[in-house]
Amino acid sequence: MSIRRNLLLLCLTLAGFAAAQQPLSTKWNAPHNGNPFIPGYNADATVLQDNGITYIFATEDPWGGRTLSCWMSADIVHWSSCSLNWPTKEAATSPTSKNSMVWAPSVIHAPNGRYYMYVSVGSEVWVGVADRPLGPWSNALGDRPLIRADFDRRYHMIDAEVFVDTDGQAYLYWGSGLNWVNGHCFVVRLKPDMITFDGEPKDVTPGHYFEGPFMFKHGNAYYLMYSEGKTTDDTYNVRYSVADNPFGPFHEGATSPILVSDKEHDILGPGHHAVFERNGKTYIVYHRHSLPFQTASVLRQLCMDELVVDDAAHILRKVTPTHTGPALLHTSMRDAGQLPVTATASSTTSKDFAEGAVLDDNYATRWQPSADDKAPWLVLDLSKPITGTTARVTFEYAWKRYRYRLEGSLDGTKWFPIVDQTGDGASGSPTEFPSLPRVRYLRLNFAAGTPASDLAIFEWNVYRSQ
């Protein structure tokens, strides 16, 4: 191993050690926060771990899209968006789904070897099947849903969640209420084909239930977790009930609710969660409101914190929601190898959306130009000319197509083209530009006419070539 590589590893180790010694930030806009751990606006997440890769499937905010949000990571720290061919509003719809979008997936690698996704479209549940996590997916039941809207008109037929017990038996939980009240939870066994009910559904609604059921088994206890309150405000929370079998009866846990808003520290509306295990620890993934809070449109982001299960007492410990996230989000620093740069912009909509936000390694903050900026641009200064760097841009929405030119300069006056996306634009997250020519300045010049409301950037990092 070279002396240079030894020195680099030592520097990174010391940097990580120093970061670990610093007190954890309680401010939502502090640099290097681990939560949100995925950029953009996502809700109602499900977690699938498969062959060393962790996948997140989630609702696109605001209030669902024509498909789902999808992300993948090998280390839970660095995430890339991925595309799905299914579900879409067009492929998974019926006369009873009306105009509602695609919501709240649950994905599992079933005992029969295939992958199944249960997803809400309107007030009905559709099932997709695939041979790989990213598909191609197809309707498992042709042109009909698994659970129709008229199963019980008193409740919403949404938020389906699949659970496979240790004996290989699969169960499906689902259900919500109307007008933010009277939520009901149903469960049914699934046959090995994962798309046929094995018996009649049973109402197992526990106390204080509204929506978002999630079942997991720990030790010999079954924990039915769920959300209560309104996802549009700070009343949303996570509760749980316990039983000795998947059908109950369920008794609310002594420590419920376990995850609630912390308005003092700007954590609002945590809920509709998933649970997964990694390296002997249990984690809860949930959505909460983006900041600064916007009343006109509810935008939610995905966060993660540790969940502790007390097997002896059959309780879940209360979760402290954080801006930093659990230790696993810091085991490899997102900004390791990042060059020190400064940012300037054509404008900013307010101090909460200043250009410095693209350099803070925090997905809760972003730069956004002012509403009257007709030709927005953002410039990074690398402090000196450098050859062969890699730039990585994390736009606000992974699925939107952004139209821009990436330009370079040695003096900040004369600019030359590097990449032109002013035609059809480009989507995806993050967007990477490797092996850049010798530059000191980089400029993202957005196409004329781009509305400022359609443009924001979470992060813009520049790395020295390895």
Q: What span, in angstroms and rounded, lies between the C-alpha atoms of 80 and 74?
A: 10
d(CA 39, CA 430): 9
Across 219-254, b (16+ Cβ under 10 Å) vs e yields eebbbbbbbbbebeebbbbbbbbbbeebebebebbe
State how far the Cα of 369 lies from the Cα of 285, in Å rounded to an integer.
Answer: 31
DSSP label at residue 329: G
User: How far is residue 172's CA from residue 246's CA, in Å, rounded to a whole number?
Assistant: 10
How far is Cα 355 from Cα 353, in angstroms, rounded to an integer?
A: 7
Name the active-site residue from 44, 161, 373, 407. Answer: 44
Does 355 qualify as catalytic in the annotation?
Answer: no
The residue with tokens 């498969």 is 50
Task: Assess whether 211 carries a catalytic annotation.
Answer: yes
CA triple 283-264-45, angle to 5 deg: 30
d(CA 171, CA 184): 16
Residue with tokens 């696109």: 60
Sequence-distant (≥ 6) Cβ neighbours of residue 119 within 8 angstroms: 68, 87, 92, 102, 103, 104, 105, 106, 125, 126, 127, 128, 160
Nearest to 242 by CA among 259, 260, 255: 255
Give the containing element (helix H, strand E) for 49: strand 42-50
Tokens at residue 131, please? 């041979």
Question: Are 363 and 454 in contact, with CB atoms under 8 Å apart?
Answer: no
Cis peptide preceding 36, ω within 30 of 0: yes
Residue with tokens 């579900």: 87
- 97 in Cβ contact with 156 (< 8 Å): no
Catalytic residue among 60, 124, 211, 396: 211
CA–CA dist 68, 378 (Å, integer)? 30
Which tokens belong to 35? 């939560």
User: What CA–CA distance (Å, rounded) separates 308 from 335?
Assistant: 29
Point out the residues that are catalytic: 44, 211
